[in-house]
Amino acid sequence: MAGNTFGQIFRYTSFGESHGSAMGGVIDGCPAGISIDMESIHADLQRRRPGSSGPSTRRKEADVPQFLSGLIDETTTGAPIAFIIPNEDARPQDYNHLKDIYRPSHADFTYHQKYKIDDHRLVHRASARETAGRVVAGGIAKQIIAGSGMQIAAYTSGIGRFKLEGDFTFSELEQAKLSKMQCPDENLSEQMESYLDELKKEGDSIGCEVRAVITGVPAGLGEPVFAKLHAGLAAAMMSINAAVAFDYGSGSFAADMKGSEYNDLFTVHNGHVRTASNNSGGIQAGISNGEDILFRVVFKPIPTIMKPQKTVNREGKPVIIEGKGRHDVCAAPRVVPVVEAMAALVIADHLLLSKSVRL
Amino acid sequence: MAGNTFGQIFRYTSFGESHGSAMGGVIDGCPAGISIDMESIHADLQRRRPGSSGPSTRRKEADVPQFLSGLIDETTTGAPIAFIIPNEDARPQDYNHLKDIYRPSHADFTYHQKYKIDDHRLVHRASARETAGRVVAGGIAKQIIAGSGMQIAAYTSGIGRFKLEGDFTFSELEQAKLSKMQCPDENLSEQMESYLDELKKEGDSIGCEVRAVITGVPAGLGEPVFAKLHAGLAAAMMSINAAVAFDYGSGSFAADMKGSEYNDLFTVHNGHVRTASNNSGGIQAGISNGEDILFRVVFKPIPTIMKPQKTVNREGKPVIIEGKGRHDVCAAPRVVPVVEAMAALVIADHLLLSKSVRL
Amino acid sequence: MAGNTFGQIFRYTSFGESHGSAMGGVIDGCPAGISIDMESIHADLQRRRPGSSGPSTRRKEADVPQFLSGLIDETTTGAPIAFIIPNEDARPQDYNHLKDIYRPSHADFTYHQKYKIDDHRLVHRASARETAGRVVAGGIAKQIIAGSGMQIAAYTSGIGRFKLEGDFTFSELEQAKLSKMQCPDENLSEQMESYLDELKKEGDSIGCEVRAVITGVPAGLGEPVFAKLHAGLAAAMMSINAAVAFDYGSGSFAADMKGSEYNDLFTVHNGHVRTASNNSGGIQAGISNGEDILFRVVFKPIPTIMKPQKTVNREGKPVIIEGKGRHDVCAAPRVVPVVEAMAALVIADHLLLSKSVRL
Amino acid sequence: MAGNTFGQIFRYTSFGESHGSAMGGVIDGCPAGISIDMESIHADLQRRRPGSSGPSTRRKEADVPQFLSGLIDETTTGAPIAFIIPNEDARPQDYNHLKDIYRPSHADFTYHQKYKIDDHRLVHRASARETAGRVVAGGIAKQIIAGSGMQIAAYTSGIGRFKLEGDFTFSELEQAKLSKMQCPDENLSEQMESYLDELKKEGDSIGCEVRAVITGVPAGLGEPVFAKLHAGLAAAMMSINAAVAFDYGSGSFAADMKGSEYNDLFTVHNGHVRTASNNSGGIQAGISNGEDILFRVVFKPIPTIMKPQKTVNREGKPVIIEGKGRHDVCAAPRVVPVVEAMAALVIADHLLLSKSVRL
């Protein structure tokens, strides 16, 4: 099948391998007449870059998308928006020593089983570099939904045992986008950073958790019974490399809660029907209720580690593998703008879909 | 949009309201020549029935699907399979006292906001009764994937603080399908049952957790980069009423794990490449790896409780609502076969999709 | 694949076999709040009925759809609208003498080759009776687009050598819907009718041509580059049993025309940009231009004839087949409301899609 | 909506404007392991080029697609195949004198009405140059279906009153691909060519007709009731710029034929069930029957002519427009490989879909 297109009427098609000439994508179904702020897309890409320490060290020369179509003077025309992000430092030969080896918890084995192509470059499609294109497409989606008053902020809420506590205002979360760890708590960020340094020395990696808030959402987004808003968010998040868990609102805690604790009582505030709590994370019966949308994604540890691991090669012979080169030790903080981007794609699609619910 | 169809080439379209004449659905894209065992569909429907205590009390007269098309002598023909499940006890008038009230954490408010229909019967589409059709469609999907050696067993793994521990064989999980609580631990089941009775007396409800195992899965199912196998499972599960969290493999625990702990080392067993552990829950890089697929779904507490709750009506006036009538106090055990059904729909679709990956 | 769903966001799923218990369908993505006039749906169904001689002989007892969902007090709710049309006179045994025979230009051979089901009832899905459901769905679509001022009239424009000439006002075409031959020229209608009687005596059948006009179309419907409005109409029409040719505007005549003859010059009429001619049939570059949409569909002769024909059976043995029972001798006039219905489905879908082109 | 993707599981997404930096596309759902012959894609692109006089004058430097992804050593990997075709001679300023004018029968008016972008460059998406990408994608599709023994040949069958007569072998049609007019009759080709020269001097354009044959088709392709094989072909053909009519088999002639004349009698030939005639054009009940698929597409005259035409500008003021520059005077012969490409996309998609009809 075509698994590389996401969305129903605001559709993003992704292409590219990490060691090919370019990554890229095509956005179809984008409304006409939206003026695109390229700077904010660059800023998000910068947050996603390897070794990034926030926009302050922004290296302008890298990961700059080249738009090929769909824009006139940086305004959308309704035509498909195609872009490429050249792979300036593609070095497929760096992986030659691994070419016959199934790396543990990597794509090598499953891609080989599925596509039956005997070339280790096959898995360059499974690289996290593919998410750069998502950030571009999501950056456009963010600007579409901003027109209806919606804003998204994701943030690092846990790296290993270092968990974020407390509540933050949306503006504090926005501020955290400028920080290295993409986390609104400065002290915790420092601890996280030291921990990552320590793991790097150890040659190990660690799992993490990212939370997100979408604010300004109108009531009415989401399409029962299968295209519920949180079902779309779940699929979007689980399509990100290394994502292993999704929940929204009170999430997993709901398993232990009583109805009398969980239910969000309706009340009237300034003439608007609101809920007194937000255990539902802004979504009830699959449809946004006007409260902030809150969700969480858990990412497994990066599978590439520097410690020796036992595995097998394509011939089924046991081998010992040792990682080499420079790898992240944690999906966060780089995955944070990817979470935002995917959320934006979901919301933009549902915003457009909602236009046809009443004539 | 059309939110009532699920799947890419094995497609299930759902229809019906809980207090209309019938629930039902249409399965399109079903392969021809599959002989359908109606008994196993009935058995699954029985597990989903209100007040069910397992197949032993099976009331044959109720929730029996009537197949309208797509079968000759109970064998699929390739034509769309339509079925209805009559609503024999539809009593929309039972809800008349609620007709102007937004019940907390129910569909009343969001459906009203979205569809702008001023009739409380609007939300009868949001009823959990809609999942009966899913069990029928999923029952057919189960039989399709069984032809490729796959079997699914879901089970109640937690109700409030009563959590299931230990490992169970697939055959023990199969056996648990015959039990009232759909749980493989008899002692725990009794505690759960007492707890539910207690809550019923209290007039409260409780959240729960359901786990599932899919066994016999061939390596190679799943379509990167968006239609990853676990992304499909996540969307499927989150489309079930009251679902609030999804994870697979080690799930949320991965947030605290190191790569050296999480990675599933490859090994060779009886000439086959296998993994020594299964933290990946049978899915790597979005594609099945041949190990058992393991996932978990958390359900929030049933929103209807017998305790008085503060809410507002459609005019924004504060009112006190008190539940009436017979309602479940927990999504489990009745939701267990629904989890299986949705998983079967996902797997059947991916099985068919996988036929075109190599010519 | 799922070939039984039509449309992108206004979606119609069809089911049923001619000798099963019921035909039917599900409409998903229908906007909420549309009050449905059931009488006009019944009138269209009546025009499609066997032996119909127009609404005057309307037999109320037959082909009355039963709506199962999606309506409250005959108003759409946004939920899927399911309906069934019971097959009151199903007599699969009438075909028993044909059960091993491949009828020339029928579905027997291709369905057998595709689905590999050894039962002649397999082809009951290919019956023209399936179009009854399309008329119901199209009847709802007509009412949706009527809200934006659009009306559709199809008419019999040729039966064999009897071709309609001259121009007719939309109101004359509307009037023709009440006539037996669905043709606006009374004299020609009589000739057509005599000709059909003659063919019936001969035991032969004949091809025909149906034209259609859609009036009141706003400029802007159609989605380049693949979902052009006429591409959608073409697919819709060619999905009707026995359709073999589609053209729009000046159609096939365009092959012999020069640009200076064909081009529709723009002019201003009452302050609106209009075209002086309509060779483009209301569609330019795949998008409606505000002029009447004009198209034509050709249907092959009904394959069942009473004359003996040489064919083979499933074992590849030569046999002589002779038709039996009551069969139409021409797709027109009964196919006329089906053409309207399919056009309405296309236009309704594009109307909804157009809501998202500008925010 | 997303109107720029074609196909269900073998999906082609198109992008690019004629005066932007590049045209291009993405093919998703392509089976893995297909070795691509780039030469045959180049040859088809050459047939589509402006001023082409067949492969003999092939200018290698232009319209060479650059593949960005999805291939390893020119073999498909199952990943999306993206390519661009740079626009080396983009001169949007050439159209500046037209920027406020609605050219008759062009895209100016409808694109303006739909997208409401006040810039004449908007219509560069509607350029026939977009079909270059289709030829690339179709070239890959051709190679996929060739693996199942299928070959496609389209040819110019009429330019104005110059109509092709007689029957041609598939090999003669293959041979015609090397000729300037893409027509298997040399004498007629010369007449067509003189006629086109004459029209060019006149400053006028002309309509045309293209026929196509698909040979080696297995029985069983096509998905009732909406995704019939000819419905897919019709949609594909009508999505090509300037297409106005589609028919298959005996096509429009069927309107005047009796069943006893039209029906294709089954017979047995060398142990295979075959039809004695092929009025059905290889498709019965929407499914291929194993005979050659035959269809025809009519194209209207190119709208740009050098003669003065009356039209209006965006302000609704009458103006006289005169064409400038170099334009084709007829869609044929350049459109011939585009017809083949679109047919190949349809057939490849249905070939893949057919893999799931029986397990």
Q: Are A122 and A54 in contact (CB under 8 A)?
A: no
pLDDT at C99 over 90: no
Q: For all residues of chain C together, what is the average pLDDT?
A: 94
User: What six digits make up the tokens of C77?
Assistant: 């709710």
As assigned by CATH, the class of the C5-358 domain is alpha beta
- Determine the 3-state secondary structure of C186 from DSSP: helix
Measured in angstroms, the CA of C289 and the nearest CA of chain A are apart by: 17
Lowest mean pLDDT among A272-281, B165-174, B347-356, C42-51: C42-51
Helices C336-353 and C38-48: crossing angle, nearest 10°? Answer: 140
**A356 with C358: Cβ contact below 8 A:** no
Measured between CA atoms, the residue of chain D closest to residue B31 is D357
Where b means 16+ CB within 10 Å and e means fewer, C220-230 reads: bbbbbbbbbbb
Assess contact for A123 and A335: CB atoms under 8 A. Answer: no
Instruction: Let me know how long chain D is.
Output: 359
Across the interface, of A10, A75, A79, the residue whose CB is closest to D17 is A79
Q: Which of D10, D356, D357, D358 to mutate to test the interface with B (most CBs of B within 10 A)?
A: D356
**pLDDT tens digit at each of 359 positions of chain D:** 479 999 999 999 999 999 899 999 999 999 999 999 999 999 999 999 876 543 333 344 478 999 999 999 999 999 999 999 999 876 666 667 778 999 999 999 999 999 999 999 999 999 999 999 999 999 999 999 999 999 999 999 999 999 999 999 999 999 999 999 999 999 999 999 999 999 999 999 999 999 999 999 999 999 999 999 999 999 999 999 999 999 999 999 999 999 999 999 999 999 999 999 999 999 999 999 999 999 999 999 999 999 999 999 999 999 999 877 778 999 999 999 999 999 999 999 999 999 999 99
Helix (H) or strand (E) holding B154: strand B151-159
DSSP assignment, residue A223? Answer: B
Contact C279 D105 (CB under 8 A): yes
DSSP state of C130: G
In chain C, % of residues over pLDDT 70: 95
- B-facing residues of C in 126-155 (CB < 8 A) are none
Q: Please give, rounded to a whole number of angstroms, the shortest distance from the CA of A77 to a CA of chain D.
A: 7
List helix spans (H) across B131-228: 131-146, 170-176, 186-202
Q: Provide the pLDDT for residue B293.
A: 98
Which pLDDT value is given to residue A324?
A: 77
Q: pLDDT category, A97, cuts 50, 70, 90?
A: confident
Smallest CA–CA distance, residue B31 to chain D, in Å, is: 5
Question: Do residue A4 and residue D26 have CB atoms under 8 angstroms apart?
Answer: yes
Domain spans in chain A, listed from the N-terminal domain onward: 5-358
The crossing angle, in degrees rounded to 10, of helices B38-48 and B131-146 is: 140
Average pLDDT score, chain B:
94
Which of C266, C283, C346, C358 is the best residue to mutate to test the D interface, defined by the most D CB atoms within 10 Å of its own CB? C266
In this predicted model, what pLDDT tens digit does every residue of C247-284 receive, in sequence order?
A: 999 999 999 999 999 999 999 999 999 999 999 999 99
Q: Is A316 helix (H, G, I), strand (E, B) or coil?
A: coil
**Residue A95, pLDDT above cutoff 70:** no
Instruction: Measure Cα distances from C71 to B101, B119, C15, C132 in Å.
Output: 21, 11, 20, 20
Contact criterion met (CB below 8 Å) for A283 and A221 = no
Between the alpha carbon of residue C69 and those of residues B117, B120, C144, the distances in Å are 15, 15, 18
- Output the pLDDT for position D61: 47
Mean pLDDT of C228-257: 98
pLDDT at C146: 98
Residue D169 CB contacts under 8 Å (≥ 6 apart), including other chains? none
Specify the range with the lowest mean pLDDT, choosing from A40-44, A149-153, B62-66.
B62-66
From the CA of B89, how many Å to the nearest CA of chain D?
A: 35
In one letter, which amino acid is C185?
D
Here the contacts of A106-112 (C-beta below 8 Å, separation 24 or greater) are: A106/A303, A106/A304, A106/B284, A106/B285, A107/B284, A107/B285, A107/B287, A109/B219, A109/B266, A109/B273, A109/B284, A109/B289, A110/B219, A110/B220, A110/B222, A110/B284, A110/B285, A110/B286, A110/B287, A110/B288, A110/B289, A111/B285, A111/B287, A112/A314
pLDDT digits (tens, 9 = 90+) for C78-90: 999 999 999 987 6
Query: How far is it, in rounded angstroms, from Cα D350 to Cα D359?
Result: 16
In the chain, the amino acid numbered D78 is G
Is the sign of the CA dihedral C267, C272, C278, C282 positive or negative?
A: positive
| Type of residue at D135 | V
Task: Report the Cα C47 to chain-centroid distance in Å.
Answer: 12
Chain B positions touching D358 (Cβ under 8 A) are 31-33
Q: Count residue pairs from B and C with Cβ separation < 8 A.
A: 141
The nearest alpha carbon in chain C to D305 belongs to: C259
Which alpha helices (DSSP H) does chain C contain, by range? 38-48, 108-115, 131-146, 170-176, 186-202, 229-238, 259-262, 336-353
Q: Do D32 and B355 touch (CB under 8 A)?
A: no
Residue A255 DSSP symbol: G
3-state secondary structure of D47: helix
pLDDT at A35 over 90: yes
Nearest to D279 by CA among C242, C27, B243: C242
Helix (H, G, I), strand (E, B) or coil at B115: helix
A10, closest residue in chain B (CA to CA): B1
- Any idea which of A251-260, C245-254, C323-332, D121-130 has the lowest mean pLDDT? C323-332
**Residues B293, B302: Cα–Cα separation, whole Å:** 28
CA atoms of B282 and B295, how far apart (whole Å) = 9
% of chain A exceeding 70 in pLDDT: 95
Residue with tokens 């779904």: B297
E strand map for A259-359: 266-269, 272-275, 283-284, 287-288, 293-299, 309-312, 318-321
Indicate the pairing of strand B208-215 with strand B151-159: antiparallel
The yes-or-no verdict on residue C312 having pLDDT over 70 is yes
Give one word for D282, left, alpha or beta, with left for phi > 0 and alpha for psi -120 to 50: left
Question: Cβ separation of B359 and D78 shorter than 8 Å?
Answer: no
Does the structure show a pLDDT above 80 at B60?
Answer: no
User: Do B323 and A259 touch, CB atoms closer than 8 A?
Assistant: no
Mutate to test the interface with C, among D262, D296, D338, D359 (most CBs of C within 10 A): D262
Residue contact A259–B116, C-beta within 8 A: no
Distance CA B10, CA B30 (A): 6
Q: Quote ipTM for the complex.
A: 0.96
Q: Which residue of A has its CA nearest to D19?
A: A69
Neighbouring CB atoms inside 10 A of B19's CB total 18
Distance (Å) of CA D207 to CA A144, C253, D46, D154? 42, 9, 22, 17
Rounded distance between C-alpha atoms, residue C207 and residue C209, angstroms = 7
Kindly report whether the global pTM for this prediction surpasses the value 0.95: yes
Residue B164: pLDDT above 90? yes
- The residues with which C156 forms a beta bridge, in sequence order, are C210
Would you say how long chain C is, in residues? 359
State the pLDDT at residue B56. 35
**Average pLDDT of span A12-41:** 97
Positive or negative, the CA dihedral A332, A336, A337, A338 is positive
Measured between alpha carbons, how far is residue B56 from residues A291, B46, B132, B133 in Å?
45, 9, 19, 22
CA distances B248 to B174, B254, B331, Å, are: 20, 10, 20
Is the previous residue joined to D357 through a cis bond, with omega within 30 degrees of 0? Answer: no
Task: Give pLDDT tens digits for B99-152.
Answer: 899 999 999 999 999 999 999 999 999 999 999 999 999 999 999 999 999 999
CA torsion through residues B234, B239, B240, B242, sign: positive
What is the model's pLDDT at position A92?
A: 62
* pLDDT for residue C190: 98
Helices marked H in A79-185: 108-115, 131-146, 170-176
What's the average model confidence in pLDDT over B233-257?
98
Q: What is the per-residue pLDDT for A101?
A: 95
Residue in chain B closest to A296 (alpha carbons) equals B245
- Identity of the residue numbered D210: V
Rounded to whole angstroms, the Cα distance separating C141 from B25 reads 21
User: Among A166-170, C214-218, D55-59, where is mean pLDDT lowest?
Assistant: D55-59
Q: Which chains, if any, share at least 3 CB pairs under 8 A with chain B?
A: A, C, D
Length of chain A in terms of residues written: 359
Mean pLDDT of B170-177: 98
When pLDDT is averaged across residues A33-62 and rounded to a whole number, the result is 76
Test A279 with B300 for CB contact under 8 angstroms.
Answer: yes
pLDDT score of C2 more than 90: no
Give A349's Cβ-side CA count (13 Å radius).
31
* pLDDT computed for residue B358 by the predictor: 95
Question: Does residue A289 have a pLDDT over 80?
Answer: yes
How would you class B327 by CB atoms within 10 Å of its CB: exposed for 0-12, middle for 13-18, buried for 19 or more?
Answer: middle
- What chain A residue is nearest to C1 in terms of C-alpha separation? A1
For residue C119, the distance in angstroms to the closest alpha carbon of chain B comes to 8
pLDDT at site D59? 41
* Average pLDDT rounded to a whole number, residues C72-99: 86
Helix axes C229-238, C336-353, angle to 10 degrees: 150
Is A266 a residue whose pLDDT tops 80?
Answer: yes
**D115 and A24 in contact by Cβ < 8 A?**
no
